[in-house]
Amino acid sequence: MNNRVVIVGAGQAGLQVAISLRQGGFQGDIMLLGKEVHLPYQRPPLSKQVLTGEWPADRCLLRHAEFFSGHAIDFRPSTTVVALDTEAMRVVTGQGETFSYQHLAICTGARLNRIELPGSGLPGVHYLRTLDEALALRGMLQAGRRLVVAGGGYIGLEVAASARSLGCEVDVVEPLDQLMERSALAPVADFLQRRHEAAGVRIHFGRMLTGIHGQDAVSAVRLDDGQTIAADLVLKGIGVRPDLRWLEDSGIATGRGVHVDAQCRTNVENVWAAGDVCETRHPLLAQGMVLESVQNAVSQGQVVAAGILGQDRSYTETPWFWSEQFDCRLQMAGIPREGDTLVIRESGPNSLSVLSIGTGGLHAIQCINTPKDYMAARKLIERGEKSRALFEPTTNLKDLL
């Protein structure tokens, strides 16, 4: 059997597997297969610094070309894997090539949820997941342009903030009655709503797009209540889902994502998974969950590499997330649970911390512009802090360490 590790997916998780293998002394072949034409790059800046023009595209690169040749990593861009044969231990690409492996790391991340509406094919309709999509949208965001964002989640709100800072008129259409409903606690969502509205973003709750109007380009959108909003650009920001299509008939167990244990092993020997594609098991989670974050991708990539190297390592780091919208830096650590008590800690006119506390102790913190609370709470979550002092909004969290 060849001593080759094949990594499918050249995002943050896939690259981290390759880096950690070499750092750990792995001497075999490493093949990194990426479906995009670009070198591996960061995604978080796409909706912020890249979109506003603050960063050039190459600043997003995680490593330059010399790194791959210097570390004997066989990076194959523009390579889409379409099938996996776990019995023969090989993957098949869209170009008809087959690559055998001794260990396989599934790091294909997530793919966009797409909605097809009348007018979806008009120039001016955008998605944002890749560097090319960010650059295409950046070229269109000019002062006075009218942007409608479908979806009030992370990406939708970050794009709304970036576009508004460039002088665009912005409407956000959100089907639910809260922004970032899937991830943000209500006090945090309300805080961000007020900040967006203060900046001139118009938010339409409880509404959905039903059509996009225009002749040669977008001119307006239609909502499900019959309302029409003038628009030059439309961003469909309705979330992502793990990219599992190529795993059909492979025998890999999946649910919402690839099922992995605490060591990031799948149900098939010598097949591992990391990042946004996983349905993660974690001691801080009540059940398996897909965690879409850079931290999760990096941490799981390190765990996969350790497992391939024969080390016994589990993923136990407290999950954390972040976002930037206008002058608000949102930081989250841990995962809130249903039934938790929320403790709101206000420390200034443009800052907020919210603790999510359950019977097991401190489960999560979500905060805006309060880095001291965030750093202290991350450590308290890791040790399962249960002090009654957590329920007092004026408690200095650092004093509990």
The CATH number assigned to the domain holding 221 equals 3.50.50.60
Mean pLDDT of the chain: 95
Q: Residue 336 falls within a domain, yes or no?
A: yes
Three-state SS at 16: helix
pLDDT at residue 313 tops 70? yes
12 and 86 in a single domain? The answer is yes
Which residue type does 323 have?
A: S
Q: Is residue 317 part of a domain?
A: no
Do 207 and 140 share a structural domain? yes
Q: Are residues 260 and 331 in the same domain?
A: no
pLDDT over threshold 80, residue 343: yes
pLDDT of residue 348: 78
285: Cα separation from own chain's centroid: 18
Do 264 and 202 fall into the same domain? no
Three-state SS at 292 = coil
Query: Is the domain of 225 the same as that of 248?
Result: no
In a domain, 205, yes or no: yes
Q: Which residue has the tokens 């010598």?
A: 270
Residue 61 in any domain: the answer is yes
Whether 130 and 226 map to the same domain: the answer is: yes
**Residue 37 domain-assigned (yes or no):** yes
DSSP at 134:
H
- Is 302 among the domain residues? yes
**197: containing domain:** 114-238
Give the domain-ending residue among 238, 273, 292. 238
**pLDDT > 70: percent of the chain:** 100
Let me know whether 231 and 249 are in one domain.
Answer: no
Structure-token pair, residue 147: 């942007």
pLDDT in tens, 154-207: 999 999 999 999 999 999 999 999 999 989 999 999 999 999 999 999 999 999
pLDDT of res. 1: 45
The verdict on 121 and 107 lying in the same domain is no
**CATH assignment at residue 343:** 3.30.390.30
Q: What is the pLDDT of residues 39-88, one digit of tens each?
A: 999 999 999 999 999 999 999 999 999 999 999 999 999 999 999 999 99
In a domain, 321, yes or no: no
Residue 368 has pLDDT above 70, yes or no: yes
Taken in order 204, 205, 206, 211, the sign of the CA dihedral is positive
Query: In the prediction, which pLDDT does 226 show?
Result: 96
Q: Which of 245, 286, 279 is nearest to 264 (CA)?
A: 279
Q: In the chain, count of helices (H) and strands (E)? A: 8, 25
Report yes or no: 306 and 281 within 8 Å, Cβ to Cβ.
no
Given a cut of 80, whether residue 284 has pLDDT beyond it is no
Tell me the per-residue pLDDT of 222-263, one tens digit each, with 9 for 90 and over: 999 999 999 999 999 888 899 999 999 999 999 999 999 999
Distance between CA atoms of residues 300 and 307, nearest Å: 10
pLDDT at 377: 97
CB of 93 within 8 A of CB of 80? yes
Same domain assignment for residues 72 and 27: yes
Does pLDDT of 367 surpass 80?
Answer: yes
Q: Indicate the SS3 state at residue 190.
A: helix
pLDDT for residue 265: 97
The residue whose two tokens read 């008809």 is 96
Q: Are residues 123 and 234 in the same domain?
A: yes
> Do residues 156 and 252 share a domain?
no
Please answer whether residues 240 and 274 qualify as being in contact, where contact means their C-beta atoms are separated by less than 8 angstroms: no
CA atoms within 13 A on the CB side of 107: 36
pLDDT > 80? residue 2 = no
393 and 357 together in one domain: yes
> Domains in the chain: how many in total?
3
Give the residue from 238, 258, 279 where a domain finishes: 238
Residue that is last in its domain, among 238, 254, 281: 238
For range 390-396, the mean pLDDT = 95
